[in-house]
């Protein structure tokens, strides 16, 4: 029995492919997820959420407010002119913009409510939510840190007890002024938590949806369907592509060459069948999502069809391309498992990309998944019309990926597969 | 009809064909007989224009097959050495597919499929997946798939390797029928019985070269091929072999056997036997081989066709 075990272990360690799958792949994925969730190395440094800021006030106070925001550990501040910032959001490049309206400085000195507004893309509400968590306490504390805390207190108290007599007011004002003087003079220590006052005073930011999200379809559902569909499609399409290599191994490819048919048709045949099967597969998945989870596909039918066709085209090209340079089905499968899992992880199939740190979001564009999933977001969540430039440019990228990979496949097929010697 | 001129082909540094030439007349049954690795499949692949030779050319009806690949492909049927069928499709589906690639019209193809299935005795199993077939049945369908477009020329690359005698006989009968209908056939094999049975002319190929060519009679009469007396000895040793070789130069020695070649069996058999006992060799068995392709091959190369 021990002999049998030893034999199995020996075979296992000799098989490079299974070694790769058992060790290298999980390690690569763990690394990737760790990076994506921001747990790696430099800790939270990498997990910055980017936020655009447009300063319409243009005063020293607004500048110092921006400085305070910039010092936040997990927010990466981008100073962008308002128009440009709004455009970025509409394009889906950025989640939100914080607008410092005119009169910020005056309100700060007068201790009045600050004219701040956060315009955001509802589709990215998870990211915006994360941002709010760190933003609101800081903004709430702004008047105390860079403004006139005494004035703030007076105004607040006026609001709290509108009917109080002047003497009462003066009495309280005096006491609170004294309290702040004491803080400033260092007699009372802050407990180290800058945000201590936040709960008390509340952060007043006006929230405005710049891009409204589709109400019928939940973000999670769109993510689950689109993410999974694209990843699974990649796997199945690689299987179809590898059929060419099976034909080579089983001799039917050679037999096809005996016939008067142009050999490149063998590849075109595979491409077409891969496309048909891919489209069919995506249609089934979205129908399922519609029937079982109530995804509203009918009011977005044209966009959905366009995206399905473009996704099928790009994905099947990927499958055929992989098959055209590998030597055997086994090789394709080893290689593709790695590539697909990595692409799916960085492209947002496994989790929404806005959960990932900025640099991960930047490299996401190298994956087919990213473009496809974002297109599905465009239709189901951002509710963009099919004529929208953002949506169309993503479709264009998918078609481009498909065209390039298909062309490469043709070249490689001629070079590798048809060569029988 | 087919002219093959000085084909050379190397795989990497290995020279698989070292200059192969032969001609085949219309309606002829030409056999390429040679051992494993002789270059038979390489020759067939070049003749079916799926492999480019390093030099030399193949003319079919005077046309170079590389400048007119599709014209030649339409009149040629190729039976590959390996069974090349879609296992998950039924026999009939396979035939529809392969026949369809030659643009045989539908009604015509349907008729042809019925014909070949009857010819190969597989009509009853036509709806079964090829994966459920026995080796012999797969071989039969493998041949049938090459005949659907009624090619005038058929290349068969070892179409009967590794099958049962029953399937083999059936295939032989079909091949003979095709030949008698005037089909030009190029048949590779390493079974000399097959070459002897069918072939009008035979090219013996070894090590990438045609080492002899002609009809069976011509090959038999070729100079060095003689009748062979194979004597198996008990306890043969080098000393005894040397003694025997000193009185009979024209012989070959392998293990415990010595092959004596003679052109006059009747008078020389008794002489050989008595001289062997004079040499002290203990005779275990005597076998007489008339001249056949095996002995021709042996005399040409000094090795067996099969081992
Ligand atoms: N694709 C290839 N790459 C490298 N060498 C090859 C290739 N195909 C054939 N050869 C070599 O060329 C020589 C001739 O091979 P070929 O297949 O033509 O022989 P064959 O006569 O058909 O043999 P068999 O009876 O075994 O089928 C052999 O030595 C073989 O090893
Ligand atoms: Mg061969």
Which of A250, A256, A259 would best serve as a mutation to test chain B binding (most B beta carbons within 10 A)?
A259
Question: Which pLDDT does position A421 carry in this prediction?
Answer: 46
The answer to whether A314 touches A371, Cβ cutoff 8 Å, is: yes
Chain A residues within 8 A (CB-CB) of chain B?
250-252, 254-261, 420-421
Q: Do B70 and A421 touch (CB under 8 A)?
A: no
Q: Do B98 and A259 touch (CB under 8 A)?
A: yes
**Model confidence pLDDT, tens digit, residues A16-41:** 766 666 666 667 666 666 666 554 44
Q: pLDDT averaged over chain A?
A: 79
> Tokens representing A356?
């990932």
Instruction: For chain B, give the DSSP string.
Output: -EEEEEEEEEETTEEEEEEEEEEE-TT-EEEEE--TTSSHHHHHHHHTTSS--SEEEEEETTEETTTSHHHHHHHEEEE-SS----TTSBHHHHHHHHHHTTT--HHHHHHHHHHHHHHTT-GGGTTSBGGGS-HHHHHHHHHHTTSTT--SEEEEESTTTT--HHHHHHHHHHHHHHHHTT-EEEEEES-HHHHHHH-SEEEEEETTEEEEEE-HHHHHHSTT--EEEEEEEES--HHHHHHHHHH--SEEEETTEEEEEES-HHHHHHHHHHHHHHTT-EEEEEEEE-S-HHHHHHHHHSS-S--
A195 and A224 housed in the same domain: no
Chain A's closest residue to B16, CA to CA, is A421
User: Mean pLDDT throughout A342-351?
Assistant: 87
Domain annotation covers residue A183: yes
**Model confidence pLDDT, tens digit, residues A220-272:** 788 888 888 899 899 888 888 888 888 888 888 899 999 988 888 888 888 88
A64 and A134 housed in the same domain: yes
What is the CATH classification number for the domain harbouring A113? 3.40.1710
Could you say which of A195, A211, A227 is where a domain stops?
Answer: A211
Angle at B16 between CA B196 and CA B215, to 5 degrees: 20
A77 and A155 housed in the same domain: yes
B184-189 vs B257-262, strand pairing mode: unpaired
pLDDT classification of A175: cutoffs 50, 70, 90: confident
User: Mean pLDDT throughout A114-131?
Assistant: 80
Domain annotation covers residue A36: no
Question: Which pLDDT does position B84 carry in this prediction?
Answer: 93
Question: Which pLDDT does position A145 carry in this prediction?
Answer: 74
Counting from 1 in the atom list of ligand 1, the atom nearest the Cα of B44 is 18
- Helix pair angle (A82-91, A389-412), 10° resolution: 50
Residue A320 DSSP SS3: helix
Question: Which pLDDT does position B251 carry in this prediction?
Answer: 85
Residue with tokens 């007989």: B33
All residues of chain B having their beta carbon less than 8 Å from the beta carbon of residue A421 are 9, 11, 51
pLDDT classification of B117: cutoffs 50, 70, 90: very high
User: Mean pLDDT throughout B180-194?
Assistant: 92
A198 and A223 housed in the same domain: no
CA dist., res. B16 & res. B305, Å (int)? 18
CA of A331 to the centre of ligand 2 (A): 27
Which of A250, A253, A254, A258 would best serve as a mutation to test chain B binding (most B beta carbons within 10 A)?
A258
- Output phi, psi for A101, to 5 deg: -75, 165
A272 and A394 housed in the same domain: yes
Q: Whose CA is nearest to atom 29 of ligand 1?
A: B37
- Output phi, psi for B184, to 5 deg: -85, 130
* Bridge partners, A51 (sequence order): A77
A232 and A342 housed in the same domain: yes
Question: Which pLDDT does position A335 carry in this prediction?
Answer: 85
A338 and A195 housed in the same domain: no
Choose among B9, B70, B80: nearest Cβ to A260.
B70
CA of B14 to the centre of ligand 1 (A): 10
**Model confidence pLDDT, tens digit, residues A306-318:** 999 999 999 999 9
A133 and A263 housed in the same domain: no
Angle at B118 between CA B112 and CA B120, to 5 degrees: 100
Domain annotation covers residue A396: yes
A263 and A388 housed in the same domain: yes
Could you say which of A211, A236, A263 is where a domain stops?
Answer: A211
Reference A349, options A322, A383, A311; nearest CA is A311
**Number of structural domains chain A divides into:** 2
* Bridge partners, B295 (sequence order): none
Question: For chain B, how many residues are written?
Answer: 307
Of A284-298, B31-45, B157-171, B180-194, the one with minimum mean pLDDT is: A284-298
Question: Which pLDDT does position B131 carry in this prediction?
Answer: 92
Domain annotation covers residue A189: yes
Domain annotation covers residue A32: no
Cβ contacts of residue A179 below 8 Å, gap of 6+? A188
Could you say which of A211, A234, A259 is where a domain stops?
Answer: A211
Domain spans of chain B, in order of start: 2-221, 226-290
Q: Do domains B2-221 and B226-290 have the same CATH topology?
A: no
* Bridge partners, B11 (sequence order): B14
Question: Which pLDDT does position A203 carry in this prediction?
Answer: 52
- Looking at the domain that runs over B226-290, which CATH code has it been given? 3.30.70.260
Domain hosting residue A240, numbered range = 219-418
Check whether B307 has a pLDDT greater than 60. Answer: no
B39 lines ligand 1 (CB under 6 A): yes
A152 and A250 housed in the same domain: no
A256 and A141 housed in the same domain: no
Select the more confidently predicted residue: B304 or A186: B304
**Ligand 1, residues B42, B50, B161: which to mutate, most atoms within 8 A of Cβ?**
B42
Select the more confidently predicted residue: B142 or B269: B142
A242 and A185 housed in the same domain: no
The yes/no answer on whether domain B2-221 falls in CATH 3.40.50.300 is yes
Burial category of B302 from C-beta neighbours within 10 Å (exposed 0-12, middle 13-18, buried 19 and up): exposed
pLDDT classification of A183: cutoffs 50, 70, 90: low
**Model confidence pLDDT, tens digit, residues A66-88:** 888 888 877 888 888 999 988 88
Of A160-169, A372-381, B267-276, the one with minimum mean pLDDT is: A160-169
pLDDT classification of A65: cutoffs 50, 70, 90: confident
The answer to whether B204 touches B293, Cβ cutoff 8 Å, is: yes
B76-79 vs B153-157, strand pairing mode: parallel
């Amino acid at each position: 029995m021990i002999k049998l075990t030893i034999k199995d272990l020996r075979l296992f360690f000799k098989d490079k492919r299974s070694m790769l799958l058992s060790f290298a792949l999980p390690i690569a994925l763990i690394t990737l997820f760790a990076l994506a969730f921001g747990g790696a190395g430099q800790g939270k440094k990498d997990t910055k959420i980017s936020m655009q800021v447009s300063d319409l006030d243009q005063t020293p106070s607004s500048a110092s407010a921006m400085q305070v925001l910039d010092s936040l550990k997990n927010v990466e501040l981008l100073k962008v002119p308002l128009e440009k910032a709004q455009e970025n959001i509409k394009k889906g490049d950025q989640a939100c913009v914080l607008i410092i309206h005119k009169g910020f400085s005056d309100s700060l000195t007068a201790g009045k409510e600050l004219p701040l507004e956060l315009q955001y893309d509802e589709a990215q509400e998870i990211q915006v939510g994360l941002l709010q968590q760190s933003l609101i306490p800081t903004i709430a504390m702004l008047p105390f840190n860079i403004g006139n805390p005494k004035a703030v207190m007076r105004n607040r108290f006026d609001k709290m007890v509108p009917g109080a007599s002047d003497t009462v007011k003066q009495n309280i004002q005096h006491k609170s002024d004294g309290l702040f003087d004491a803080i400033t003079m260092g007699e009372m220590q802050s407990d180290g938590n800058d945000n201590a006052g936040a709960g008390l005073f509340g952060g007043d930011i006006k929230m405005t949806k710049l891009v409204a999200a589709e109400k019928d379809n939940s973000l999670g559902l769109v993510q689950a369907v689109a993410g999974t569909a694209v990843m699974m499609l990649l796997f199945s399409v690689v299987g179809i592509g590898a059929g060419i290599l099976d034909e080579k191994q089983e001799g039917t490819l050679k037999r096809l060459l005996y016939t008067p048919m142009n050999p490149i048709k063998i590849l075109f045949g595979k491409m077409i069948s891969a496309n048909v099967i891919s489209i069919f597969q995506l249609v089934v998945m979205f129908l399922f999502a519609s029937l079982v989870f109530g995804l509203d596909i009918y009011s977005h039918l044209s966009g959905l069809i366009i995206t399905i066709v473009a996704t099928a085209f790009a994905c099947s090209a990927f499958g055929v391309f992989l098959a055209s340079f590998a030597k055997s089905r086994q090789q394709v499968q080893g290689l593709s498992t790695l590539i697909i899992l990595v692409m799916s992880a960085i492209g947002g199939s496994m989790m929404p990309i806005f959960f990932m740190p900025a640099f991960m979001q930047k490299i996401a564009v190298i994956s087919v998944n990213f473009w496809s999933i974002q297109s599905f977001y465009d239709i189901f969540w951002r509710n963009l019309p099919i004529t929208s430039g953002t949506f169309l440019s993503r479709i264009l990228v998918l078609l481009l990926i498909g065209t390039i990979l298909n062309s490469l496949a043709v070249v490689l097929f001629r070079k590798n597969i048809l060569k029988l010697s | 009809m087919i002219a093959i001129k000085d084909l050379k082909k190397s795989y990497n540094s290995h020279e698989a064909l070292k200059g192969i030439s032969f001609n085949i007349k219309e309606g002829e049954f030409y056999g390429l007989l040679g051992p494993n690795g002789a270059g038979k499949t390489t020759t067939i692949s070049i003749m079916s224009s799926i492999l480019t030779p390093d030099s030399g050319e193949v003319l079919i009806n005077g046309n170079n097959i590389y400048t007119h690949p599709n014209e030649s492909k339409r009149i040629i049927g190729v039976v590959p050495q390996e069974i090349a069928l879609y296992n998950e499709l039924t026999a009939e589906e396979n035939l529809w597919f392969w026949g369809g690639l030659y643009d045989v019209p539908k009604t015509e193809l349907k008729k042809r499929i019925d014909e070949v299935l009857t010819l190969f005795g597989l009509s009853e199993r036509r709806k079964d997946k090829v994966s459920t077939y026995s080796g012999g049945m797969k071989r039969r369908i493998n041949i049938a798939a090459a005949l659907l477009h009624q090619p005038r020329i058929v290349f068969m690359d070892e179409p009967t390797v590794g099958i049962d005698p029953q399937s083999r006989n059936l295939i032989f009968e079909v091949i003979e029928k095709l030949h008698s209908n005037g089909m030009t056939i190029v048949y590779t094999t390493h079974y000399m019985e097959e070459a002897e049975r069918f072939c009008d002319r035979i090219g013996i190929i070894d090590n990438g070269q045609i080492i002899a060519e002609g009809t069976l009679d011509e090959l038999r009469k070729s100079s060095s091929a003689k009748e062979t007396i194979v004597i198996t000895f008990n306890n043969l040793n080098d000393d005894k072999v040397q003694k025997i070789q000193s009185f009979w130069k024209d012989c070959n020695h392998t293990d415990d056997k010595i092959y004596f070649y003679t052109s006059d069996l009747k008078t020389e058999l008794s002489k050989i036997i008595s001289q062997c006992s004079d040499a002290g060799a203990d005779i275990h068995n005597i076998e007489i081989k008339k001249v056949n392709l095996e002995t021709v091959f042996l005399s040409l190369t000094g090795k067996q066709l099969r081992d």
